[in-house]
Structure 1
Amino acid sequence: MRRSCLVLLGAAFATSITLAVEAQTTLRFAHTQPTSDTHHAAAVHMAEQVARATNGQIRITIHPAGELGNDPAVLEGVRLGTLDLGQTGNPFYTRFEPKLNALDIPFLFASHDHVYRVVDGDVGRGLLAELEKHRMKGLAFWEIGFRKITNSRRPIVTPADLQGLKIRTTPNPAHVEAFRLWGANPTPMAFTEVYLALETRAVDGQENPLNIIRSNRFQEVQRHLSFTDHAYTVSIVSMNLAKFRALPEAHQKALVDAAREAAAYQRRLNREQEGQDLATIKAAGVEVVERVDTEAFRRLALEPVKAAFVAQHGAALIDAILALR
C-alpha cells in the first residue's frame, strides 16, 4: 500500500511539473533593427511587461538585426506562423494591405501629436483590424519617425538638388512616387541591405529619421543630411492571428496592452535621444542642412500622391486623418 501511494504521489508530482511546463508559452519576436535602436529597447520592454502581466506564463525571446530574416521575410513568417511576432515599418505591410499606404503620403502629418491622435485612436484601430484578413493580429503602432534624406553627393535644399540621385526608398508606392516627382531615381531595397549599398555607392543616399540613421551607422557612409521631414513612418508590431486567438483572453490582453505601452515608451526614448542622435551624426563629419525648402517638396508631391490613393481607396480615410490635425 505504501509503495502504491508513493507511486501515485510520484505520478501526480510528475504530472504537475508537466502541466507547469505546458502552461509556459514561448513566443519568438523578430525585427531588423540593431540592439542600439529604440525598437529593440521597446521590444525588450514589451517582453518584460508581458512576463509580468502573465506571471511568467508567456516568455518572449527577441531576435534583432535581421537574425531571422529581412523585413519581407519577417512578415511572411508572421503570416505563415513560422514566427510568432514581428515588427517592421508600415511600408512593408502595405504589400498586404494597401489601405495602410495612407500613412506614408508625404507631408500628410503636421506633427508627432497629430500622428499619435491618428494611430492611437479609431483610425489606427481600424487599420490594424485590416491586417486580420492577412492572418496577422496588429497589436500596436510603434515609431520610425519623420524621414530625412542623406546622401554621399551633395547638400539637398530643394527638389532640384535630388535630380538624378539614386535614393534607397521603402517599397511603399507613396514613397517611390514622391521621389520620382522630386527628380530622384527611387530604388526600393530591403533595409538589411542598405548599409552595404551606401558603402559601395550602389545607391547615393537613403531616407530615414535620425534615430535609424544613427543606430544603423549610416553616418559612416554618407556625407550630407537634410531635414526634409517629408513623411512620417510608423512601424507595426503584429502577431500570427491563429496563435493570438489560441491564447486565453487574459494573455491576449496582456500582449496588446504591453505592445501599446511599449509604443509610448519608445516614443519617449526617441524624443529624449534626438539631440544626441544629431550630435553623433555631426561628429562623424556629416554636413547637416536644417533649413530646407520643404514647401517646394510639398507642392510637387502631396496632392498627386494623395490623389492616387483617393482614386483607389476613396477619400474617407484621408479626410479622417486630416480632421485630426
Structure 2
Amino acid sequence: MKSIPSLVAAGAALAVLVAVPAAAQQQLRLAHYASTSSTTHAAAEHFKEEVEQRTDGEITVSIHPAHELGDDPSQVRGVRLGTIDMAVIGNPFFTAVIPELNALDLPFLFESPEHAYRVLDGEIGETIHGWFQEEGMQVLGNWEIGFRNITNSERPIVEPSDLEGLAIRTTPNPAHIKAFETWGANPTPMSFNEVYLALETGAVDGQENPVVLIHAVRFHEVQEHMSLTRHAYTAAYLVMNRAKFDGLTEEQRQILLEAGQNAGQFERDLVAERESKSLEAMKAEGLQVEENPNREAFMAAAKDVTRAAYVEEHGSELLDRIDAAR
C-alpha cells in the first residue's frame, strides 16, 4: 500500500500532466474599430486563420469588430492592462501614450505608400516597436488605414479656404487638429464609432478618412462631397498585451509575429486593390468627388506649421530619419 506522501506526490504529478494541455491552450480576443466589410476585418480573419492553423488549434482567436470591446482609447488601455489580448488601432490613438508617434500623422509627411512602408518596416519601425514595448504592448504587425481625404455635406473642397467654418471630425491627434485649424475648419475630435451618427444628425459637417474605409463604413450615405486631398497617411498596428505575449512559448510568439506581419501585408494589398472600386461605387451612389484639389495649397498652409510644432516639443531626429527614407 502506498504511503500518504507518495499518494500526494502521485496526485500532484497527475495534476501536472492534466494541466499541461489546458495551459497550452490559449484563446485570444482581437478587437478592432472597423466594420465586418472593412479591410481591417478581412486582415483580422487572415491573421486568425494562419495562427489557428500553424498552432494546430493551441491558440484560437476571436474577432470583435466595430468597437465591440470599447472605443479606441479604451482598447489602448485594455491592451496595456491585459483586459484585451490584442487590438488593431490607428496610430493617432496611441499618441496619448507615446507622444513621439505624432510625427507619423503630420500632413504630407509621406510622399507615397512605399515611403511609408520603408519607414514602418525598417529600422525606424523597429525603434517605434520598442516604444510600444516600454508601454506594455507588443507590436505583431504594421497594418494600414491609409491616405486620408475630406468629405463634407456642405460644398466641394478645392482650396483650404473652402473649409472655412466647417466642423470636421478628426482624430485626437494634435497634428490632425493643428492642420484643420490652419485650414480654417473647426476640428472636432471624436471616437470613430460616433462619426456616422454625428454626420447624419449634422453635429459635424464632415470628416477625413481613406477612401476604402469611408466606403466600408458607409459615410458616403450621409455626405455629399469628397475631396481627394490625401493630406496625411495613417498607419495602424496590431498590438498585444506584452505580458500575455511573453507568457507564450517561443514558437508561439514567432507564429504570432509572422502571422501579424503577413496579415498587415495582406491588408495593404487589399487597400490598393479596393481603392478605385470603392471610389467608383460611391460615385455611382451620388457622392460628388473632387479628384484634383489644390494639394499644393493645402501643403503650403499646414506642412511647415505642424512640423515646427512637433519639433518644438520632440526634436527633429525622428523626422530627419523619415525624410532620409524618401
| SS of 2:27 mapped into structure 1 | strand
Q: Distance in 2 between matches of 1:15 and 1:135?
A: 30
Structure 1 residues not aligned, in runs of 5+: 2-10
Query: Deviations 1:129-173 (Å, cap 9, x if unpaired)?
Result: 101221111222211000000000000000000000000000000
Q: CA RMSD in A?
A: 1.8
Structure 1 position 128, deviation (Å): 1.5
AA matched with 2:106:
I
1:288 counterpart residue number: 289
1:169 counterpart residue number: 170
AA matched with 2:144:
E
2:184 counterpart residue number: 183
Alignment TM-score, normalising by the size of structure 1: 0.94
2:205 counterpart residue number: 204
AA matched with 2:254:
K
1:40 counterpart residue number: 41
| SS of 2:68 mapped into structure 1 | coil
AA matched with 1:304:
V
Structure 1 position 20, deviation (Å): 2.4
Structure 1 position 123, deviation (Å): 0.4
1:57-136 equivalences in 2 (<5 Å): 57-136=58-137
Query: Deviations 1:240-259 (Å, cap 9, x if unpaired)?
Result: 11111111111111111111
AA matched with 1:57:
E
AA matched with 1:211:
V
Alignment TM-score, normalising by the size of structure 2: 0.94
Q: Distance in 2 between matches of 1:125 and 1:166?
A: 37
TM superposition outliers: structure 1 runs of 4+ over 6 Å: 11-15
AA matched with 2:126:
R
Query: Which range is displaced more, 247-256 or 286-295?
Result: 247-256
Q: Distance in 1 between matches of 2:145 and 2:111?
A: 16
Q: Distance in 2 between matches of 1:23 and 1:91?
A: 35
Q: Distance in 2 between matches of 1:14 and 1:180?
A: 63
| SS of 2:43 mapped into structure 1 | helix
On the 8 A contact 1:128/1:139 being kept in 2, the answer is no
Query: Which range is displaced more, 275-284 or 30-39?
Result: 275-284
| SS of 1:251 mapped into structure 2 | helix
1:286-325 equivalences in 2 (<5 Å): 286-325=287-326
AA matched with 2:49:
E
Query: Which range is displaced more, 18-27 or 192-201?
Result: 18-27
Structure 1 position 19, deviation (Å): 3.1
AA matched with 1:180:
E
Structure 1 position 23, deviation (Å): 1.6
Q: Distance in 1 between matches of 2:52 and 2:27?
A: 10
**Matching of residue 24 in structure 1 with residue 25 in structure 2:** yes
Percent sequence identity is 53
Structure 2 residues not aligned, in runs of 5+: 2-11
Structure 1 position 13, deviation (Å): 9.5
| SS of 2:156 mapped into structure 1 | coil
**In the comparison of the two structures, how many residue pairs are matched?**
318
